[in-house]
Amino acid sequence: MKIFQKVVILFLVGILAACTGAAATPELIVETPAPPTATALQPVTPTPTIEVTATPSPTPALDYPVEGYGPSDFPADVNPLTGLEVDDATILERRPVIVKVQNLPRADRPQWGLSAADIVYEYYTELGTTRFAAVYYGENVTQVAPIRSARLFDMNLIRGYKAMFIFGSAYADTYYKLVNSEFSRRLMLESTNTTGVIFRFDPNSKNYEMADLTKVNDYTTKMGIDNTRQELNGMLFKAQTPEGGLDAEQVFVRFSGAIYNRWDYDPAGQNYQRFSDVDNASSSSAETYKQLIDRGNDEPITADNVVIITVRHTDIDARASTEVLDVSLLGTGKAYVMRDGKLYEVTWSRPSETSILTFMNADGSPFALRPGQTWVEVLALNSTMAKQDDGSYRFTFVSDW
């Protein structure tokens, strides 16, 4: 009965979204006590002038080692999340930082800071919408926004990357699980303690919540939080294109009629460029796209690797009109990796809560990603993949609850 009711509700939401030009984005703002290490929330004075310090990830050098880097024994100056050397190895002497970033409403795009992330996860939240969890380690950036609320899926990432976590509230049950977890002291909400790290930015009266990641180390020192370098082994990076694979110069990912995207391979940059939905589309033939840029530096959003993973989603809320999804990223599952204009069917692997997400060939050996940034599109188990007449590939989110 609940499945039938949800189909009807989602159908009505789709009709409403098509009429209004915007997807429904329910959000519960809970008034709950702050995490144990934070004081009550206080108004924060906006920061008027901000300079972006991040630059796009470089193309791997011609002398990149043939054997690559990883999945373990990374040199001290090589980022284990990108396989790239960093200019100053001391930046890696810390925990990664994960920031929740908004994807809807479209009027608030483009976002700030996504081009500086090592890994970006896009995943389904509820009623056809998605959000980003951006993982920062090898670069710092002074603008990441708009910050939005957490979901249960984020707990997989906080544990796996042993990360600090910047977010803005959550549904009540999710919030309580976060603040009662073993990583509760690594949660960063807007408060008097996080002033400077999290602040308000007010272009055109939008009042965005924004993060300055260059201030996180000072915060952890002030709060007495262990911010030492963590074990982040697991990923393998090689500059040369793996054997096999299928030509994949264009890949579509459709979460719903409100959220869909396209990745176009750019041979000159040897990466994929992201194009995002412009309007609601009742079918794939009605989709319209616009290239996504980083508002902080006006650079296109690109990815050296685009990864599709399928993971079981479980709706843990009994109400037909509400979706609260538990997505446990543990074990193994089907995945596809796009790199160098090729598509490879692989297996994703995360054997324990403290493991990062990695990828394996059919024989169990590590699959080699291209050095650089990775975007991960998280789809449900029932989701489909199809090759289209023009040679492109289309992945469609299909719920499994």
Domains of the chain are 25-64+81-223 (3.50.90.10), 236-396 (3.50.90.10)
Binned at pLDDT 50, 70 and 90, residue 59 comes out as low
The percent of residues in the chain predicted with pLDDT above 70, rounded, is 85
- The pLDDT of residue 202 is 82
Helix-helix angle 154-161:172-179, to 10 degrees: 20
CA-based nearest residue to 84, from 97, 94, 74: 74
Tokens 């599952």 appear where?
A: 333
| Most confidently predicted of 18-27, 46-55, 101-110 | 101-110
Amino acid at 184: S
The pLDDT score that the predictor gives to residue 203 is 73
pLDDT of residue 34: 37
Q: How far apart are CA 357 and CA 127, in angstroms?
A: 26
The closest of 58, 44, 34 to 370, measured between CA atoms, is 58
Structure token pair of residue 83: 């396989």
**pLDDT tens figures, 159-216:** 999 999 999 999 999 999 999 999 999 999 999 999 999 999 987 778 999 999 999 9
**Average of pLDDT values for 331-342?**
98
Residue 51, judged by CB atoms within 10 A of its CB (0-12, 13-18, 19+), counts as exposed
Query: Residues 236-241: what's their mean pLDDT?
Result: 98
Residue 310, pLDDT above cutoff 90: yes
Q: Taking 90 as the threshold, does the pLDDT of residue 6 lie above it? A: no
Give the span between the Cα atoms of 119 and 156, in whole angstroms: 14
Average pLDDT score over residue span 279-300: 97
For residue 49, pLDDT over 70 is answered with: no
Do residues 339 and 86 make contact, with C-beta atoms less than 8 angstroms apart? no
